[in-house]
């Protein structure tokens, strides 16, 4: 189970570890409690976007076969099987809430606000890690050629150049958030 989880989350965990090291270096944090807040926040932020499948199964469409399978995996505590199932069948969901450009558009002001306003390093790290993970998942969708499902809320789908411009904008926002951290 651990091997399957690490195999699927290899790059997202690497992004999370890189962000953790960056936040620790930017904040010049030396005490154990703030360090643990950043580590936990970045680690949890890696998995936030995948909670969409659980939300879909329990709240949005609990009667579909996809949802019943997810509920079965959770009921039997087979999290390795759950991750494998979701990774294999994730293309069956078309209107995703968290894995979408709409969520990223909402996440941009939240990230800026959280970095400016929040005193909690856990919240800052969680939001920035979620933001970095969403950028990674968008880039992954771009390379797989599945960006239409990422921009499902838009009537006119953007071109590849528009998507790359959107990714560059998101990267600049992430760099700005790291700068003001």
* pLDDT beyond 80 at 1: no
Residue 148 has a CB neighbour count (10 Å cut-off) of 12
* Phi-psi region at 28: left, alpha or beta (left = phi > 0; alpha = psi -120 to 50): left
As a whole number, the mean pLDDT across the chain is: 89
pLDDT in tens, 112-139: 999 998 889 999 999 999 999 999 999 9
Report, as an integer, the average pLDDT of 66-73: 89
Q: How far apart are CA 104 and CA 119, in angstroms?
A: 23
* pLDDT beyond 80 at 171: yes
* pLDDT beyond 80 at 93: no
Q: How far apart are CA 166 and CA 146, in angstroms?
A: 15
Residue (of 88, 128, 136) closest to 108 by Cα position: 128
The residues, any chain, with a CB within 8 Å of residue 14's CB and separated by 6 or more, are none
Confidence band for 178, pLDDT divided at 50, 70 and 90: very high
Residue (of 101, 122, 137, 111) closest to 11 by Cα position: 137
* pLDDT beyond 90 at 43: yes
* pLDDT beyond 80 at 153: no
């Amino acid at each position: 189970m651990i091997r399957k989880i690490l195999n699927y989350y290899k790059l997202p965990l690497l992004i999370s570890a890189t962000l953790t090291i960056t936040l620790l270096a930017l904040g010049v944090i030396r005490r154990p409690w703030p360090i643990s807040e950043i580590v936990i926040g970045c680690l949890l932020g890696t998995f936030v976007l995948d909670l969409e499948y659980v939300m879909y199964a329990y709240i949005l469409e609990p009667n579909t076969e996809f949802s019943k399978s997810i509920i079965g995996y959770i009921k039997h505590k087979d999290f390795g099987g759950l991750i494998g199932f979701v990774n294999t069948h994730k293309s069956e969901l078309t209107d995703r809430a968290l894995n979408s450009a709409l969520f990223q558009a909402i996440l941009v002001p939240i990230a800026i606000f959280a970095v400016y306003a929040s005193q909690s390093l856990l919240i800052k790290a969680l939001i920035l890690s979620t933001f970095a993970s969403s950028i990674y998942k968008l880039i992954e969708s771009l390379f797989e050629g599945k960006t239409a499902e990422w921009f499902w809320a838009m009537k006119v789908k953007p071109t590849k150049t528009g998507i790359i411009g959107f990714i560059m904008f998101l990267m600049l926002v992430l760099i700005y958030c790291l700068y003001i951290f």
